[in-house]
Amino acid sequence: MNARQPKDGIPGTVATRRHGTRLPGAGAAGWAGTLALVGSGLVVAAVIPNAAQAVNPGPRCLGQPATIVGSADMDELVGTPGRDVVVSRGGDDFIDTGAGKDLVCSGDDFDNVRLGRGHDRALGGEGDDSLDGGRGRDILRGQREVDALFGGEGDDHLYGGSGQSVIIEGLIGGPGDDMLVGGPGLDSALFFDSPRGVTADLRTGTATGHGTDVLSDVEGVGGSNFADHITGNHRGNGLFGQAGADTIHAGDSGTIAGGTADAVSGGEGADDISGGPGQDLLTYGHIPLGVVVDLAEGVATGQGDDTLRGFEGVIGSRLNDRLTGGPHDDFLAGGFGDDAIDGRRGSDTAIYRDVPGPVTVVLDPELIGEHADNGPYAEGPEFGAGSDKLSGIDDIWGTSGRDHLYGDDGVNHIGGFSGNDRLAGFAGDDRLDGGDGEDVCEDRADQLRNCESVGARAAGRSADTSTDAGGGQSTAALSPWLGPAR
């Protein structure tokens, strides 16, 4: 610890510490405490009798002059028992304001902000921030990136930021009657820490059970570990029940192929889950057990016995699943593991967008010179010991790797997406889309798109001799809640 006179000539004591260590703010006993940047990774705490005399008043937060200012590096900024105005600047910072009616403006990187007992206000920065209001009536506002806002005890106001279309923000009101307001991105009201089941309805914008909360511009709900009642609206929702026997009703969403479908998961427990008028997607991708899902019968087992209605798509677990479609055009994604996928009636799609890839998918082995007894299948190095067995599948979505995707003599829609792929539709009025990368389409007569090389139908499985273009990002999306393909 060093002590010296401030360079601006104002009487006082300056205490210095390197970045990454605890830095207590000044301000006790009537003193005005100001922290200012001196050099890279070095922050000074200047205790001066009258801050108004300062030559350079420094940054401001929500219109108020800062009393604690971080460096461009990683800092730990600790407030005083009184009122603090904190500006963190760069680096991944930890901020603990303590008691008092504090203001915090987060910086450019990831900041972990913990407010104290006062009625505080915190504004997220350019990075991914965590804002915890603690006790008191707080106002927390996210910014551009992925922010998690925790209201804590008291009646809080939480406002999501202006993230991109796949940004998901967590708004956790905590005890009390809170107002949760989302932004232009995807915002979730999360009730993970509720001591009882919640009833959340995005149509009416209300949630009860852990206080009485008002929800506005919120697209997603994460339930409690108890029996919840969750209802979506028309905005492409992400509805997740967690543990407990939950009742979940999806809203009037869009389409799975268009990336605007609801994504719904009941979590643990025996759940009652229903889709809405649009296309809805049921996901088990996060659970540690294999699942058996039958959309025609409306049942799912593996992590609780779920009752299902009105779903057109399923994402399986990371283990061995059995997925069966219904009477509609279904989208079935087994994911990792050795899965059995049966589309049954309708024009059904096998999806591999979330497998790291590459994959080989064959709907008719005879057409590529293999034995017919093999049956339709999909295989890849990331699947584990075996491969997927396919039945009743008409269409294929590939991965971001170098895939080989082969249809049958029916009508096939095959999408390679990113990676240098080889696609073949064979007979039927097929549509082949290579997507990003240098793709080979083995069919001259069909509807072709994004095919850099076009050849006749191959009698056997051909090697992809194209130069790898680095793999572009897939344009396919199942739901905005699932993010882009890997």
Q: What is the pLDDT of residue 382?
A: 66
The pLDDT value given to residue 146: 67
Most confident segment among 47-51, 71-75, 77-81, 292-296: 292-296
The percentage of the chain sitting over the pLDDT mark of 70, rounded to a whole number, equals: 79
What does the pLDDT read at residue 384? 53
| pLDDT, position 323 | 98
Average pLDDT over residues 47-57: 40
pLDDT at residue 453 in the model: 85
Q: How confident is the model at residue 486 (pLDDT cuts 50, 70, 90)?
A: very low
Complete domains list, the chain, with CATH: 347-474 (2.150.10.10)
Distance between CA atoms of residues 204 and 220, nearest Å:
14
Per-residue model confidence as pLDDT tens digits over 254-307: 888 888 899 999 988 999 999 988 899 999 988 889 999 999 999 999 988 999
Can you give the chain as a three-state secondary structure string?
CEEECCCCCCCCEEEEEECCCEEECCCHHHCEEEEEEEECCEEEEEEECCHHHCCCCCCEECCEECCEECCCCCCEEECCCCCCEEECCCCCEEEEEECCCCEEECCCCCEEEEECCCCCEEECCCCCCEEECCCCCCEEECCCCCCEEECCCCCCEEECCCCCCCCEEEEECCCCCCEEECCCCEEEEECCCCCCCCEEECCCCEEECCCEEEEECCCEEECCCCCCEEECCCCCCEEECCCCCCEEECCCCCCCCECCCEEEECCCCCCEEECCCCCEEEECCCCCCCCEEECCCCEEECCCCEEEECCCEEECCCCCCEEECCCCCCEEECCCCCCEEECCCCCCEEECCCCCCCCEEECCHHHHCCCHHHCCEEECCCCCCCCEEEECCCEEECCCCCCEEECCCCCCEEECCCCCCEEECCCCCCEEECCCCCCEECCCCCEEECCCEECCCCCCCCCCCCCCCCCCCCCCECCCCCCCCC
Return d(Cα 351, Cα 279) in angstroms, integer: 16
Number of neighbours of residue 140 by Cβ within 10 angstroms: 30
List the one residue out of 366, 344, 385 whose CA is nearest residue 376: 366
Query: What span, in angstroms and rounded, lies between the C-alpha atoms of 204 and 206?
Result: 6
What rounded mean pLDDT belongs to the chain?
Answer: 78
Cβ 222 vs Cβ 189: under 8 Å:
yes
pLDDT digits (tens, 9 = 90+) for 186-236: 888 888 888 899 999 999 999 998 788 899 889 999 999 999 999 999 988
pLDDT in tens, 410-467: 999 999 988 899 999 888 889 999 988 899 998 766 788 898 888 765 434 333 333 3
pLDDT value for 162: 64
When pLDDT is averaged across residues 301-321 and rounded to a whole number, the result is 93
pLDDT class of 390 with cuts at 50, 70, 90: very high
Measure the CA dihedral 69/70/71/75, to 10°. Answer: 160
Comparing 78-82, 188-192, 381-385, 473-477, the range with the smallest average pLDDT is 473-477
Q: How far apart are CA 131 and CA 116, in angstroms?
A: 11
pTM of the model: 0.76
Q: Name residue, tokens 């028309």.
A: 234
Q: Is 344 left (phi over 0), alpha (psi -120 to 50) or beta?
A: left
Residue 474 pLDDT > 80: no
Q: What's the pLDDT at 463? A: 36
Asked whether residue 138 carries a pLDDT value surpassing 90, the answer given is no
Residue-level pLDDT at 124: 85
Say which amino acid occupies 464. D
